[in-house]
Amino acid sequence: MPRREARTLAPVALAALLALAGCAGQPGAEGYTSVTTPMHDTAYDPRQIFNGVPMPLEVHGTPPDGASPAQVAAGMTLPARFGSSPFELGENLREETRVVIAFAPANRLDGCRGPASTGAGRADGALEALIAYCRGRRELSSVLVRSTATRGPGDAGFAKAMNQAFLTLLPNRGPDEQGERRRRR
């Protein structure tokens, strides 16, 4: 290939690669999952999560696919670093250490203090959920999840989106060990 053609093709090839890279992680046919606004109380300690022991779970609202709370619980597990423990569905677990999921949350709320209020859901059908890790009425950590890659436990993307959320919700180290020092109260 003549040198002149190579110089002409290089920018075109680079532009094509950048265009493809720009599509990664954006809404589209395969979808995306975004885990944002993590909050961690200084009382959060990952050693409180016991490997292999089912985690109590409260579910408020429904995911876009209309799945029941039992289907939500069955469609996810804790990350492998916590023994891939299953979730155990419960109601009114106010005094226990638990995970609370509010699908289509009406606003940023403290799901540990009372029943989570849920809205009508997103117009585009994307999954949106506030997930909180609670000890009694105290919120130890929380994240907001938005995903077009899944509509609920009825499809393959749900477990992956929830695993991504739990990795942010339940970090390996507490805020004091990371130098975060965030007290929200």
For residue 142, which of 177, 103, 108 has the smallest C-alpha distance? 108
Average pLDDT of the chain, as a whole number: 75
pTM above 0.75, yes or no: no
CA dihedral 79, 82, 87, 88 (to 10 degrees): 180
What pLDDT, on a 0 to 100 scale, did the predictor assign at position 27?
Answer: 40
What pLDDT, on a 0 to 100 scale, did the predictor assign at position 16?
Answer: 37
Indicate the SS3 state at residue 103: strand
Give tens-digit pLDDT for 57-96: 999 888 999 999 999 999 998 888 888 888 999 876 666 8
Give me 118's structure tokens.
Answer: 């849920």
For residue 78, which of 157, 178, 140, 169 has the smallest C-alpha distance? 169
CA distances from 70 to 2, 134, 166 (A): 64, 20, 18
Check if the beta carbon of residue 156 is closer than 8 Å to that of residue 136: no
Checking if the pLDDT of 115 tops 80, the result is no
Give me 157's structure tokens.
Answer: 């993307």
